[in-house]
Structure formats: C-alpha cells, structure tokens
Amino acid sequence: MSDVRNVIIIGGGPAGYTAALYTARANLNPLVIEGFNWGGQLMITSDVENYPGYADGVMGPTMMQDFRRQAERFGAEFLTDDVTRVDFSERPFKVYVGKDEFVADSVIVATGASARQIGLESELRLQGRGVSYCATCDASFFRDKVVMVVGGGDSALEEATFISRFASKVYLVHRREEFRASPIMVDRARADEKIEFVLNKTIDEVIGDAKVTAVRLQDTQTGEFSEIETDGFFVAIGHDPNTALFLEQLDHEEDSGYLVTRGKSTETNVPGVFAAGDVQDHTYRQAVTAAGSGCAAALDAERYLSDLRHAALTATSSG
C-alpha cells in the first residue's frame, strides 16, 4: 500500500484546482488526479469575461492553466490520468488509477459535469466559434446578433429567454410539437417577441468555417431540409454529472446522478469524502461557484483531518 496521504482530489477543473490551492497552502500536500481531460468545460470555452479578476477577459484554457499553476506553486502534486475505481468503504480511502493504488484519509470529488452534445462533427469543430453550451457565459458575445437555441426542457426555454436580452433574434428549435418544459416557461418564451419557435425539426449540421454562419435543419415529419442563418448556436439539452465511479458508494439524486451534500457543507454520506463543483451543483454551473465550492471542500477536509488528529492524540494520551 502507498503512503497514506492527507487528501486526494479527483478532478481538474475550477473546483478541483481551487481545492488543491487551499489544501496545499494548508500544508496538506494534496495529490490531484486531474484526469486526461483536465480543465473541464472551460477547455472548450473561448472568451471568459465574467470571472472576477480578469478585467480584460481570458481564454478558458488559459484560465485553467493559471488555476493549475497557482496550486502547483504551493506544492500540489498532479497526476494526469483517469481514476478507474474507488473504495470508500473504510479509511484510509483507496483510489485506483489502473493497477496503481493511492490511499488517503480524505477525498475531494470534483469531477464536474459534461454538457450533453448533439454529436455532430460540425458541432465539435465550431465549439467556441459560435457553438456554446452556456448562455450565462456567452450570451453577451451575441449582442444584436441572431442566435439559435436547441432543446425542449426548462433549461432551453430559460436560456432562450436570457439570450433574448442581448440578441436581436432567437430561434428556438425543438424536435417535437410539445415541450418537456413547464408551461410557465413555455408561455414566457412565447410572449417574448424576439423568440421564434421552430418545431418538429432536428439539427443536421452546423455550418461555418472560422465561425458559425448557419444551421441546417431536417423536418421530422416531411424529411425536408432547410437552413437558417445564425451567428450563434446554443445547445441546451442538459448536463450529465461525471459520477459513474461513485454511484454505488455516495448518495446521489436518483434521476440525475448528481452527488448529494449535507446542508451548506460539501460533506457526503461518507465522513471524510467531500464533493465540490458541478458534480453536485445542477443549478448554477459557473466557474466562480465551482471555485467557491472547491474552497469550501478544502476547508471542510482540513477541519475533518484536524479532528482526526485530535481524536488520535486524545486516544493516545488517555491510553
């Protein structure tokens, strides 16, 4: 068995790197198993203008490199690999990367969430060039421009309504006539003069070279193709938390898979295991809230480890 570490952080995004920064500065010598796709959703985000401290904006990948470098400066250790299995049944907890075993008295889970994608090659190619998965992050880049939103749930209706504050026109595309969204959200979108509903259509291709210029649609009833010119394409078909590794051991929401934390803390149902960032937040999903959650997890872990040491000292002195 490897030496028992104070804390292992699983995940390399705003939450994981902030937790690494705080635990490193607390002399807890964290090991961050950041994953091959470190940086999370910020790695497919171009300009970030709403993170405090970057007055002139910053590229998403650059911001994640800054986060990582700051944590590394204070002694955080990084492993760029994917966790394949965890065992939280007893302490010290075991975290596996293939056949390699790492053990720690506390674990912070910060594996984030992934925006659902349509899966088109053209969609992937134009990410950050007009294709977006976050209206709060990117709507302001489309001021007085034409935008398309695809989706039929509350999040799609909410994003279309939010984007309409900036855009001159918003096409809301849905593959059916009926929406999964709540009636009040549908009514609110229908009342918005800037939003036009495009129903019974699926996305065939996102068109553009350097940036999005149009979207080709296919009618679900007739099979006919059509094109709509647009400057932006927002995919709002939901997010999936990256929680598959933990579902058998940590409490989670049955329908969505998001990890459940206790009260205002980052504590899970397993004492010593904490969850931070989008892996347990399906409401805000912002880099700044994820970072704040990572800070909270680090402080919770620090207190937990301090209590462990105090209990051990008390047991030793009383023995």
Catalytic residue set: 134, 137-138
In whole angstroms, what is the distance from residue 31 CA to residue 14 CA?
16
Helices 14-25 & 287-318 angle (0-180, nearest 10) = 40
The torsion angles phi and psi of 53, rounded to 5 degrees, stand at 100, -20
Tokens of 132: 């977006």
In whole angstroms, what is the distance from residue 235 CA to residue 200 CA?
16
Question: Pick from 255, 290, 286: which is nearest to 276 by CA?
Answer: 290
Burial of 103 (0-12, 13-18, 19+ CB in 10 A): middle
Cβ atoms of residues 258 and 275 within 8 Å: no
